[in-house]
Structure 1
Amino acid sequence: MLSSANSNPKDLEQIARNGGVFRRMVSRIPTYLTDMRENPAWLPMFLLARTMPFRKAHWLTARQAPRQESRKPSMFGDLKAETIAAELRSTGLFAGLTLPTAICEEIARFGHETPCFGNFDRRFDFLASDHVEAEGWFGRTILSGHHYERALRCDAVVAVQQDPLLLDVARHYLGGNARLITTRTWWSFPTKNASDADLSRASFKFHFDLDDWRMLKFFFYLSDVDGNSGPHVYVRGSHNRRRLRHQLTLLVGHPAHEVLDFYGAENAITLTGKAGSGFVEDPFGFHMGTLAKQRPRLMMEVGFGVSKPSKRRFHGEPVLR
């Protein structure tokens, strides 16, 4: 069962350290150029979807969710897609999902037994249990380890990805043309001496996602997550309104004090829970991962959007210089 708590603004500000505006923008240029080459429609989305008038106009194009006479049984029981979608429209967040124990254990076993790529870089390949040694082998701090396409070798990952409730929720929230665009599993590791560039790349900063005009992301903890294990933080209601200065900048990440002052510190919810706990959010709302201070965190994401996904985006892989 997930639990949530209002976050301490001072703690969040310490976690969400700035990495330098220019440095962050430069590091993302290769990814942006690749997105443009793969799909020319990406650029107008990236420029305009951050503004509320264009965003709301695009929501008007959403098709009604198809009527379903019956839905195949879901591993999540009798949860109603309509109820979840209504909560998402109101707050941007629903935190009542729980993976079956067998599914959670199978994915966790996969995460422990399958090598991951450190800091999004395919040159750094290691088992999670070898994290400390890997930092010595590669001579650098490693904050995260992604499995990329290897995740789809796990039958339990595929079962979660294809569960009928997820697509049903996505269609009720995003519209009838909702489609799967991301599936990934990754580790967040406790480490020392992380650079500002590492922290920025790992999304330890309040930000919103701009991978599509309309998106929805399901997250599942595959290890126990408390305040020292890198819990996810979401700012409720921030998906429905946006400060003008946050619309008129190419940056998606902003300092914690700036976000919390405008959207309300009381709306910053830190999500903790046992392995198997899950939640779904509209990632246009401000959110961030936090540093795993004492224990590593294993997590899974399944994302839906309304545009054709790229192979790289499907696994959340950036383009590194």
Structure 2
Amino acid sequence: MEYAQLKPGRRFAPLRSLMYYSQRLVTRPSLRRMVVRALSAALRLRQGSGRELTAATPAEEAALFDLRRSGYAPLGKLLNSAQCDDIRAWLSDKLLIDRDHNRPGFTLAQRKEAVRVADYHLRDVISCPHILALANSPELLGLAARYMDCKPTISALGLRWSFPVTGDNSALQAFHRDSEDWRYLKVLVYLTDVDDGAGPHVYLHGSHLTRAPVRLRFYSDSEITGAHGADMLLTAVGKRGFCFAVDTAGIHKGTAPSLHPRLMLQIQYSLLPSYAYRYTPERYDGPLAFDPYVNRLLVRPGV
């Protein structure tokens, strides 16, 4: 999965650009809700509601309520310590990609001190133990289906390290909004213990319901707290395996770690593909049977 060329130039795709910017230009929340209802209805006719995946428990209904009202919902510890150990062990010799600078791939042990944020390649995420099973679990697919009112699409899947580095913070770790689709949510899972010194995720309560600017930008901490108050910021801390759902159309950031590195899994569910990306599904030869529609952008079954 790589970023698409959305502006004129080499490999520019006009239709993809139109699809991406059409949802960026509609900023009025009431109008966006109308479009979402129409898209959801069309997808239900073609693919079903997705609600048949699981009957919601009271805890899952509470999570859906929190997500709709706040934009953030804690989901508890969905991976146990042994599963987190399996993931860390499997990744130990896999190459990382520096998000801030163009440099050759490196393992975690080979990481240079200047590297602030680094990702694993999608093929390694797909093959990693427990990741696809969690992304396709009835609980998470059911939550996504209820939030979008149709069967969801997994439109992004990633494993990212964030490291404590002196100097200015990466732009990836400043307050911002995402603009991936008409409606989407991200499920984030800590694979290391995350406290205030390990770069917790911070979310501005209710900001997913507010009007976003056409031109997305970064916000300083003082700008956010001055306009909304520090008590409106929700900080996600937890032991490894802790999971939470966020609608990142709202204002959020992953705090830059100050003491300890953070490894985090991101699963993105959406109505449509994110037209900001070019998708090349990775072959999967494992034992998991998964819904081909839900996984079509990222995974193709082995032969």
TM interval, short-chain normalised: 0.7 to 0.9
Q: Aligned equivalents of 1:224 and 1:32: distance in 2?
A: 37
Provide runs of 4+ in structure 1 moved above 6 Å: none
The equivalent of 1:183 in structure 2 is 157
301-310 vs 163-172, which deviates more?
301-310
What is the total number of aligned residue pairs between the two structures?
265
- Residue 237 of structure 2 is matched in structure 1 by 272
1:183-217 Cα offsets, whole Å, 9 max, x none, are 100100111234x6xx11xx221111101110110
Aligned to 2:188: 219
SS at match of 2:237: strand
Instruction: Please tell me whether residue 230 in structure 1 is matched to residue 203 in structure 2.
Output: no
CA spacing shift, 1:252–1:305, aligned 2, 3 Å: farther
TM-score relative to the length of structure 2: 0.78
In the alignment, is residue 54 of structure 1 matched against residue 34 of structure 2?
A: no
Q: Deviation at 1:277? A: 0.8
Residue of 41, 66, 71 corresponding to 2:54: 71
1:117–1:126 Cα contact (<8 Å) kept: yes
Aligned position for 1:41: 19
**1:281 counterpart = 2:259:** no
Distance 1:130 1:229, change over 3 A: same
Give, in whole Å, the separation in 2 of the partners of 1:259 and 1:253. 10
Determine the C-alpha separation between the residues in 2 that align with 1:218 and 1:127: 25
Q: 2:132 aligns with which of 158, 163, 170?
A: 158
Contact 1:82 1:172 in 2 (8 A): no
Q: Which TM-score applies when normalising by structure 1?
A: 0.73
Q: State the 1:144 CA deviation.
A: 0.8
Identity of aligned residues (%): 25
> Residues 142 and 152 of structure 1: is their aligned pair in 2 closer, same or farther, counting only changes over 3 Å?
same
Distance change in 2, residues 1:35/1:88 (3 Å):
farther
1:85 positional shift: 1.5
8 Å Cα contact 1:55-1:213 kept in structure 2:
yes
Matches within 5 A, 1:188-207: 188-194=162-168, 199-200=170-171, 203-207=172-176
| Structure 1 unaligned blocks of 5 or more | 1-28, 136-140, 316-321
Partner of 1:116: 96
Q: Is the 8 A contact 2:205 2:232 kept in 1?
A: yes
The one-character-per-residue Cα deviations of 1:259-299 (angstroms, maximum 9, x if unpaired) are 33333321101211111111001111110011111211100
Report the structure, 1 or 2, having the larger helix content.
1
Aligned to 2:186, what secondary structure does the other structure show?
strand
Alpha-carbon shift at residue 92 of structure 1 (Å): 0.9
Q: Do 2:51 and 2:151's aligned partners in 1 also have CA atoms closer than 8 Å?
A: no
- Rounded Cα–Cα distance in structure 2 between residues aligned with 1:162 and 1:268: 30
Q: CA deviation at 1:91?
A: 0.9
Shift of 1:254: 2.1
User: Matched residue of 2:157: which SS?
Assistant: strand
Partners of 2:61 and 2:128 lie apart in 1 by 29
Cα shift readout 1:109-162 (whole Å, capped 9, x = no counterpart): 23333221112656331112222xx35xxxxx3111100312112131111121
User: Distance between the aligned counterparts of 1:124 and 1:51, measured in 2?
Assistant: 43
Distance 1:55 1:226, change over 3 A: same
- Per the alignment, residue 64 of structure 2 pairs with 85
Cα distance in 2 for partners of 1:35, 1:163 equals 36
Match of 2:74 in 1: 95
